[in-house]
Amino acid sequence: MKQVDAIILSCFGYELTSSEKKFFKNINPFGFVLFKRNFKNKEQIKQLIQNLKDATLNSDLLIFIDQEGGRVQRLDNHEFTKFPTQMIFGNMYKKDKKMALELAYKSAFLMGEQLKEICIDVNFSPVCDLFFDNANNVIGDRSFGSDPELVLNLSNSFCKALKDSGIIPVPKHFPGHGRSKFDTHLRSSIIKESYNDLKKTDLVPFKILDKSMMVMLAHIKYPLIDSKVATYSNEIIRNILRKKFKFKGLVISDDISMKAIKEDLQTKVTNCYEGGCDIVTYCKGDLNEMRLIYPCVQVLRNKEMNFFYNEKKKIIPKRKNNNKFLSDLIEYKLISNAPKS
C-alpha cells in the first residue's frame, strides 16, 4: 500500500482553486475534512469530493465531516435531515432505555446513509463527553448527558449504527472535554480532576474504544495527569489510552488551528506527533499555512496504517428499512420531515 501522510487537511471553499489543485497533487494526506464553507448543495459537494480525489490522485482518499446532530451539522439544507441533538436521546433514556437506544440507532443509521450517499467515509462523532452544568456550553447539549453509563450505552448504539451504514465513527474528545470551563476553539483550558476521578466518570464512555478504529483527543490540560495538553501528552496517549485502554486504532488530534494550543503551527504538528498522535488535523483551509506545516508532516506508520485499513474492510453497509426508521423518528418528533431532493 502507498505511504500516507499522517494529516487530515481541509480546503477553503465550494470548489478547488488552481493553487489548491497544484499543491494537493504533490501530497498524499490521510484525508480531508469538510465544513459548511464547503457545502452549497448535494451535487456540488459530491463534485468537490471527486475533485479532491482527482487532485491527490487517490481514489481511496478518506473524506471526514462533523455531522453530530443538533447545532453541529455541516450539511444543513433541505436535501439533508435535521437530526436531533444527542442530549435528546439522553433525556429519553432516563424514561425508556430501550426506546432511546433504538431511536438513537435509527437516527445515526439514517445520518450515516445520507453521508455515504455523497461519498463521505468518516464522521467525527459521537461526542462521548459528559455534560456538566457548571461547564462551558461548547459541549452542552452535544453530550448525551451527565451519567457515564448512559453516555456509554448511547455512544455504543450511535457507533454501531454508523458502522452498519458504512460510516466510520470517531468518538471524541478523549479523555473528556465536558468539564471544561472554556471553549478550546478560543482559548486554553484546564481540567483539574485526577486520573482516578476521571476513570470513574469522564473516561467511562470511552470504554467503546475497544470496538473503535479512531479516537479524537481534546486540546485540554489535565495537570494532575501531565503538564502538557492531551494532544501532546505521552502519559495520556501512550500510557492511559494505549496501555490502560489497550486502544489499537488511530489517535487523531483535534484541529491544530484552535487557540487552546498557542505555539506556531509547525511546532503544534511536531508536538502532536511527539506526544503520540498518529494523525494531525488541520481545519482552517488556508493554503499558505498548509504549505508551511507540510515539511513537518510525518508518514503514517505501517503498523497503524495496516490495522486501520484491515478494520475498514470489515465495515460492510447493512440494508435497513429506512422508511420505517424515518417514520419512527417523525412519530417521536425527533425530526420534522424527510429530506427533499
Q: What is the pLDDT of residues 116-160, one digit of tens each?
A: 999 999 999 999 999 999 999 999 999 999 999 999 999 999 999
Active site residue 60: no
pLDDT at 337 over 80: no
Average pLDDT over residues 323-327: 95
pLDDT at 212 over 70: yes
**Between vectors from CA 28 to CA 125 and to CA 16, what angle results, nearest 5°?**
80
Q: Where are the domains positioned within the chain?
A: 5-26+54-290+304-331
**Residue 220 near residue 191 (C-beta atoms within 8 A):** yes
| Residue 341 confidence (pLDDT) | 63
Question: pLDDT tens for residues 5-20?
Answer: 999 999 999 999 999 9
Cα–Cα nearest to 133, from 190, 94, 89, 178: 178
What is the residue-averaged pLDDT of the chain? Answer: 97
pTM (two decimals): 0.97
CA dihedral 146, 151, 152, 157 (to 10 degrees): 170
| Residue 175 confidence (pLDDT) | 98
Which of 141, 202, 226, 254 is an active site residue?
254
| CATH fold group of domain 5-26+54-290+304-331 | TIM Barrel (3.20.20)
pLDDT at 109 over 90: yes
**Residue 142 near residue 85 (C-beta atoms within 8 A):** yes
Which of 78, 96, 185, 264 is an active site residue?
185
| Residue 14 confidence (pLDDT) | 98
Question: pLDDT tens for residues 73-101?
Answer: 999 999 999 999 999 999 999 999 999 99
**Residue 26 near residue 287 (C-beta atoms within 8 A):** no
Please report which confidence band the pLDDT of residue 1 belongs to, taking 50, 70 and 90 as the band edges: low
Question: pLDDT tens for residues 228-286?
Answer: 999 999 999 999 999 999 999 999 999 999 999 999 999 999 999 999 999 999 999 99
Cα dihedral sign for 298, 302, 303, 306?
A: positive
Gap between the Cα atoms of 98 and 116, Å rounded: 27
| Residue 338 confidence (pLDDT) | 73
Output phi, psi for 25, to 5 deg: -65, -25
* Residue 276, amino acid: G
10: which 3 cell numbers?
481541509
User: Any idea what DSSP says for residue 120?
Assistant: -
| Residue 336 confidence (pLDDT) | 86
End-to-end CA distance of the chain: 38
Q: Which residues pair with 281 in a beta bridge?
A: 8, 255
Give Dmax over CA atoms of the chain in angstroms.
Answer: 55
Active site residue 185: yes
